[in-house]
Amino acid sequence: MIFAVWIPLLMPLLAVPAARRLAESLPPRAAAWLLTGCAVALAGCTTAALGLLLTAGALRLPPVAALGHLSLPLLGGDPVVSVPAAGAAAGLLGAGALAVVHRARRHHDELRTARLATDAHPTSGDLCVLPHSAPDAYALPGRPGRPGRVVVTAGMLRALPPDEREALFAHERAHLAGRHHLFLLTAALAAVCHPLLRSLRAPLAYALERWADETAAARVGDRRVTARAIGRAALAARPAAADAHRPGTVLAATTGPVPRRVAALLAPERQPDHPPIRTGLHGRRLIAAALLACVAFSAASALDAAADLHETVEVAQGEAVR
């Protein structure tokens, strides 16, 4: 187990760059699912590996071994290594659990505060208009029994002509329909488990914005109008003023690499967003195979380590009974 248990902790070194590269050559929706799924899988394997390290080291402690009726000499491994490793794993797991709870609670509190703030303003269907002069618009997720809202300021309504307003609203409605905030929240919680997973957030946020861009373009039937709406809204928005009333956990059309998104909308439909690093079909298959191998190897190593630990415990228990 001592070797296999470290593999899930090291595999993100290879899997994360592969996932980022593969996502660049996929349609936005597929890229978002790929990045989120990869983050969850790698975070799960990392957590399992830390749990196994903690268990293996804890079993080396005489009180724990006596409680489980284990024979210490048959547990194997060097206690000089396994016990400190267990302590480090316990610290990381504890800190990670606290960070997950804090991050989830902050997400919930920010959305609740934003919903309470919008309740005081008039709504028309799913559209809520805030009387702020600073141009801004964002998708405010709902909760069970209450649908989400497209929140827009009076300043943003004045900044856009009617057709571009509809494109902007369609973009924000795409975020709500796809529940895109859950993708970002899932990736943020996964990143708590391994620091390398944090680098998946930026490409994931870009993929989600591009997903909403394409949905909006299909909805209004004009990619150029959609591109103009996003570009004009981003130019009109003032981040400092918007941050004063926009929750940090929501998605907005004016965030992210807007010039790249506008260029993608103005390019022929389905053309890759990154022509200089376009990956052919064969290259995509190789990267996908490498990524799948990384995730599978990580999961298999965690399972192998768990099976090895289980077998060792059974042997130690059997000898102790004798």
How many CB atoms are closer than 10 A to CB 298? 25
Task: Read off the pTM.
Answer: 0.86
pLDDT given for residue 311 in this prediction: 78
- Which residue is associated with the tokens 């995509």? 284
Q: Which tokens in the block code for residue 43?
A: 């975070």
Sign of CA dihedral 40, 37, 148, 118: positive
Ramachandran region, residue 221 (left: φ > 0; alpha: ψ -120 to 50; beta: rest): left
By C-alpha distance, which of 172, 203, 212 is closest to 29?
Answer: 212
* Calpha distance 62→57 (Å, rounded): 11
What DSSP assignment string belongs to 37-80? HHHHHHHHHHHHHHHHHHHHHHHTSHHHHHHTT--GGGG-S-HH
* pLDDT tens over the chain, length 322 residues: 567 889 999 999 999 999 999 999 899 999 999 999 999 999 999 999 999 888 888 777 777 666 766 665 555 555 666 778 888 999 999 999 999 999 999 988 888 888 887 887 877 888 989 888 888 899 999 877 778 899 999 999 999 999 999 999 999 999 999 999 999 999 999 999 999 999 999 999 999 999 999 999 999 999 999 999 999 999 988 765 555 567 777 788 888 889 999 999 998 755 545 444 455 677 888 999 999 999 999 999 999 888 887 777 676 666 544 4
pLDDT for residue 60: 76
Phi, psi of 150, rounded to the nearest 5 degrees? -95, 115
**CB neighbour list of residue 182: distance below 8 Å, 6 or more residues apart:** none
From 6, 12, 10, 46, select the one nearest 199 (Cα to Cα): 12
Q: Which pLDDT score is estimated for 61?
A: 72
